[in-house]
């Protein structure tokens, strides 16, 4: 079901009850871009720590707009032995609520926009008919403002910037407005004696309207209802209505209700996220870290600085998450699924040993056909993400004694996958652990190298040519991680580099120690190494330890604006394009001398 500003109000109940009755939910977001800084391969360095990755995504991805949100609810029908699904495709846009509400700016990345355009994305639905939203601060602020304005109008008091010190007395009317206000008083006095019921004053500025409210409240404390009305041309003017006490109260009550409804409309799409959150249902996504970050950032609160705080906020908003990309790249699926991109995964879980789940689209909902791919429409992506989850979960059921064909979202069997979000392209940390500390590999074959900004990947290959195969992961213009194939070469490299002038080499441990010292200076506590080089995850289900181990990143990623690179090469083969081009233009001044 497509949901825009036009039908949102009528649909909200349907959405909420679909969430309420569901066994689990699947979500997906489409964004206006991925990175406003480094390109994707630099944004997702293969040796990022989870803290670094979070900080980079927060810094470089959050100014884009999540403008399409897909939700698919899955409810298992025992009798029919099939899932009943309700897919929703929400278009979202931060339409300013009024003149004083935040005028949000967001970035568009032309490659992402162009990609979505090539998939038939309808931008008019976003920009012309997108559902508005507010985060929690904005909602509170708006409700306070509305309350304040009502009090002021009731008391005849302007906002503090305009009032005279004695706000309960007659309004202080600046000289140049005195004529105007006197004319208004004359008109209102005439209204009180003539047979008219209503007086429409001429459109005027906000400041003049404040003066009118103040003056009328002071001069005519009874018998009038005063209200700001907008013309078709969006000009604002004041309407004065002769009323008895009862009608005045009734009108004010109506006005209050209208304002409340307008406020609810402004909260808009955030109410869907609140409903999902409140339900506590399992929320499934594919490669969902960016989706989760954007959802919290846009509809709840600005993302916290610290990763640990982010984890806590996330667990409040989404108490139970499952990432199908992480599931598919973990045992026992890892060996069976060669490509974990959503489109490929969806194809693979249709084939043996998996079984396509039986699903039925609920009446009144658009029925998706997986044979006619509608990839990168958020509602469709959410739908097939749910299908992938069901197929993989049911497959796990085949290992039970006795085997089970249907595994529910609440089953113990899927618990090990809860609250672990896939980390794109990190070589040795497969997931972000939301409910405990993250894995901390020692990385004792890794060097941290700094060098002149003219250097390129080939210069690093040349510098380390004596060490055979190396892997380069760029950090920025002047530094990179270099992974050696043999750990015992690390010390040789570090020692030799002592005599180098143009570059500098540290071990990974030294690099992390430096970072932690920087952090301690800022008053944060460092984390210590586990004895085996890993910090055990807080989560200690028996099956977890067996399930999660060191594993390589999946060989193929998706090429879409959900944070994935179009090119299927591994990151260390690919010098960041920006550096590459820049390098070609510049004359190389500092060349590595191949000291090893």
Interatomic CA distance for residues 462 and 595, integer angstroms: 9
Q: Does 521 bind its own copies (CB under 8 A)?
A: no
Phi and psi, residue 87, nearest 5°: -90, 140
Which of 281, 290, 563, 276 has its CA nearest to residue 421? Answer: 290
H helix or E strand, kind and range, residue 508: helix 508-521
Interatomic CA distance for residues 42 and 472, integer angstroms: 11
Q: Which is nearer to its own copies, 152 or 287 (CB)?
A: 152
Q: Does 114 bind its own copies (CB under 8 A)?
A: yes
Q: Does 33 bind its own copies (CB under 8 A)?
A: yes
Angle, helices 206-219 vs 175-193, to 10°: value is: 50
Using CB under 8 A, pick the residue from 81, 260, 264, 569 that binds its own copies: 569
Site for its own copies in 55-94 (CB under 8 A): 65, 93-94
Q: What mask of x and - would describe binding to its own copies in positions 234 to 253, judged by CB under 8 A? A: x-------------------
User: Which listed range, 29-37, 256-264, 417-425, 432-440, lies at the site for its own copies (CB under 8 A)?
Assistant: 29-37
H helix or E strand, kind and range, residue 239: strand 236-242
Q: Does 568 bind its own copies (CB under 8 A)?
A: yes
Within 355-476, residue ranges assigned H as helices are 378-397, 457-463
Q: Does 485 bind its own copies (CB under 8 A)?
A: no
DSSP tag of 228 = E
Q: Does 140 bind its own copies (CB under 8 A)?
A: no
Q: Does 126 bind its own copies (CB under 8 A)?
A: yes
- Alpha-carbon distances of 37 from 33, 58, 113, 132, rounded to whole Å: 11, 11, 16, 27
Which of 275, 237, 236, 231 has its CA nearest to residue 11? Answer: 275
Q: Does 555 bind its own copies (CB under 8 A)?
A: no
Site for its own copies in 155-184 (CB under 8 A): 159-163, 174-176
Using CB under 8 A, pick the residue from 2, 23, 75, 104 that binds its own copies: 104
25 with 284: CB under 8 angstroms? Answer: yes
Q: What is the 3-state secondary structure (H, E, C) of 260-295?
A: HHHHHHHHECHHHHHHHHHHCCEEEECCCHHHHHHH
Q: Does 566 bind its own copies (CB under 8 A)?
A: yes
Q: Does 117 bind its own copies (CB under 8 A)?
A: yes
Which of 422, 400, 401, 249 has its CA nearest to residue 327? Answer: 422
The structure tokens 């699903």 sit at 359
478 with 451: CB under 8 angstroms? Answer: yes
Using CB under 8 A, pick the residue from 7, 51, 75, 206 that binds its own copies: 206
Q: Does 36 bind its own copies (CB under 8 A)?
A: yes
Structure-token pair, residue 469: 């195969």
User: Which listed range, 280-288, 307-315, 485-493, 574-582, lies at the site for its own copies (CB under 8 A)?
Assistant: 574-582
Q: How many residues bind its own copies (CB under 8 A)?
A: 60
71 with 25: CB under 8 angstroms? Answer: yes
- Alpha-carbon distances of 395 from 137, 316, 355, 461, rounded to whole Å: 44, 30, 8, 44
User: Which listed range, 107-115, 284-292, 351-359, 430-438, lies at the site for its own copies (CB under 8 A)?
Assistant: 107-115
Q: Which is nearer to its own copies, 38 or 416 (CB)?
A: 38
Q: Does 581 bind its own copies (CB under 8 A)?
A: yes
CB of 347 to its own copies, least distance (A): 14
Q: Does 587 bind its own copies (CB under 8 A)?
A: no
Q: Does 100 bind its own copies (CB under 8 A)?
A: yes
Interatomic CA distance for residues 326 and 336, integer angstroms: 14
3-state class of 548 per DSSP?
A: coil
Q: Does 205 bind its own copies (CB under 8 A)?
A: yes
CB of 363 to its own copies, least distance (A): 31
Residues of this chain that interact with its own copies (CB under 8 A) are: 32-33, 36, 39, 65, 93-96, 99-100, 103-111, 113-114, 116-117, 121-124, 126-128, 141, 145, 159-163, 174-176, 205-207, 234, 456-458, 469, 566-569, 573, 575, 577, 580-581, 583-584
């Amino acid at each position: 079901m497509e949901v825009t500003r036009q039908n949102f109000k009528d649909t909200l109940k349907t959405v909420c009850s679909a969430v309420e009755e569901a066994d689990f939910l699947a979500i997906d977001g489409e964004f206006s871009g991925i990175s406003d800084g480094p390109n994707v391969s630099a944004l997702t360095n293969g040796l990022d720590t989870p803290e670094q990755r979070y900080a980079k995504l927060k810094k470089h991805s959050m100014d884009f707009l999540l403008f399409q949100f897909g939700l698919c609810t899955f409810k298992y029908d025992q009798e029919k032995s099939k899932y009943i699904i309700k897919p929703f495709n929400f278009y979202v846009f931060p339409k300013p609520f009024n003149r004083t509400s935040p005028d949000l700016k967001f970035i568009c990345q032309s490659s992402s926009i162009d990609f979505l355009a090539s998939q038939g994305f309808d931008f008019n639905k976003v920009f012309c008919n997108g559902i508005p939203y507010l985060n929690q601060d904005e909602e509170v602020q708006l409700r306070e403002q509305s309350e304040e304005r009502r009090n002021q109008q009731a008391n005849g008091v302007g906002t503090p910037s305009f009032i005279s010190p004695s706000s309960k007395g007659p309004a202080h009317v600046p000289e140049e407005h005195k004529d105007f206000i006197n004319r208004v008083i004359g008109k209102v006095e005439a209204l009180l004696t003539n047979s008219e019921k209503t007086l429409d004053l001429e459109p005027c500025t906000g400041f003049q309207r404040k003066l009118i409210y103040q003056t009328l409240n002071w001069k005519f404390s009874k018998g009038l209802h005063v209200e700001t009305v907008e013309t078709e041309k969006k000009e604002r003017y004041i309407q004065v209505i002769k009323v008895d006490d009862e009608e005045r109260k009734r009108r004010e009550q109506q006005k209050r209700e209208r304002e409340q409804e307008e406020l609810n409309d402004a909260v808009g799409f955030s109410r869907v996220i609140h409903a999902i959150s409140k339900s506590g249902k399992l929320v499934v996504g594919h490669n969902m870290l960016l989706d989760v970050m954007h959802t919290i950032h846009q509809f709840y609160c600005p993302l916290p600085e610290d990763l640990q705080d982010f984890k806590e906020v996330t667990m409040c908003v989404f108490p139970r998450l499952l990432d199908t990309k992480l599931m598919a790249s973990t045992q026992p699926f890892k060996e069976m699924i060669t490509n974990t991109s959503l489109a490929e995964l969806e194809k693979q879980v249709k084939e043996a040993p998996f079984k396509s789940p039986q699903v039925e689209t609920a009446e009144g909902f658009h029925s998706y056909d997986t044979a006619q791919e509608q990839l990168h429409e958020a509602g469709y992506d959410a739908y097939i993400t749910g299908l992938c989850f069901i197929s993989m979960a049911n497959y796990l059921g085949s290992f039970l004694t006795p085997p089970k064909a249907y595994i529910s979202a609440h089953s113990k069997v899927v618990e090990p996958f809860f609250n672990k979000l896939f980390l794109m392209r990190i070589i040795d940390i497969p997931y972000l652990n939301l409910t405990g500390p993250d894995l901390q590999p020692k990385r004792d074959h890794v060097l941290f190298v700094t060098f002149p900004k003219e250097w390129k990947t080939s210069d690093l290959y040349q510098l380390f040519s004596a060490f055979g195969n190396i892997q380069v992961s760029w950090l920025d213009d002047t530094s990179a991680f270099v992974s050696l194939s043999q750990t015992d070469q690390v010390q040789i490299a570090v020692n030799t580099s002592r005599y180098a002038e143009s570059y500098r080499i540290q071990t990974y441990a030294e690099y992390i120690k430096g970072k932690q010292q920087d952090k301690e200076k800022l008053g944060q506590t460092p984390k210590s190494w586990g004895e085996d080089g890993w910090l055990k995850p807080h989560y200690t289900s028996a099956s977890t330890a067996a399930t999660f181990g060191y594993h390589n990143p999946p060989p193929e990623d998706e090429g879409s604006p959900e944070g994935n690179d179009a090119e299927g090469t591994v990151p260390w083969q690919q010098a960041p394009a920006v550096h590459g081009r820049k390098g070609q233009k510049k004359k190389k001044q500092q060349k590595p001398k191949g000291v090893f």
